Structure 1
Amino acid sequence: MLDVGAWIEFGDWTEDGNRLARAPVEGYASAKLSQLRRSVVKNGKDLHKLSVPKRHRLRILAKRMRYGSEFFGATFPGKRSAKRCQKSLAALEELQDSLGMLNDIANRQTLFDLGEDGPDPATLPMPKVGPTEEKSLMKTARNAYARFAKVGPFWRA
């Protein structure tokens, strides 16, 4: 029993954990944020041509990027880094919100298409949205995406 306790406390397996725990967070944060940014930029190209499921995937990626930026933002000091971080966060928030609304519209229409057994459209919490509003939301999403893609990575400022 004592051998097990000693192994738990001091075994060879603890070396990797200790090494990782002592490593600076900037390296991990930079790699993770770079990976997320590449995914958002890659998946957001031709945003207006994306299918509903692909737009939803982009929204999830933007959400991860936004939360990662909020979490790791203070890790990278400096005015330039802070300014880039704020610009990225603003663009990501707008992108995420507009894509979320577009997804809600698409899913609402799917519910209507289910037939008579679906919910009464009047009971759904979303106001009626026409093609003009959808175009406006798509334009907002595209502009937000363009702003995000234009801002350089704040972790490399």
Structure 2
Amino acid sequence: MKRKEIYWLIGTFGLSLVACVLLLGIDCFKSTSTADINVHDTYFVVAKKELSILILKLTFFFVYLIRMLRRKFKNLTVNLIFMIANFFMNLSVVGLLSLIKSYARSATAIQNNTSESGILDSNSFEFIFLWVLLLFFQIILLVSLGYSGFKTGLNYKKDK
């Protein structure tokens, strides 16, 4: 790996750390710190460490996506780092899909025991829209992963 790429890697990591500290506070990497997310009448308590990892994935994904597109898939190291970041973004989307599905299941169980409320139901329009949106985003990620791998392979064969 060239020295320039190491600087880009360290700079991107530093940028994501600064973003984590600015968005989540100085205690964003402590295992006991949590963030409260208010959605309608429900509070979600999420570990700040998990949100920091998500910010790290997003930063690497977008920085290396822009670098890869600007260089037109010519830099092998940038392409590989983008593909790794893309893989981890896919894992995040799978986690979000399973979280939404489990939330809808628990909401259905709660709704059966109580009166009609505004809880997200697995048959509701909001649930289906969110599910299709995340599924579409995951398909875009997988297509971009395949395309970047294909272009990297073509460019790598030309260099040999």
Structure with the larger strand share? 2
Higher Rg:
1
Q: Same fold (TM over 0.5)?
A: no
TM-score in terms of structure 2 length = 0.44
Relative contact order, CA 8 A, sep 6+: which one is greater? 1
Structure with the larger helix share? 1
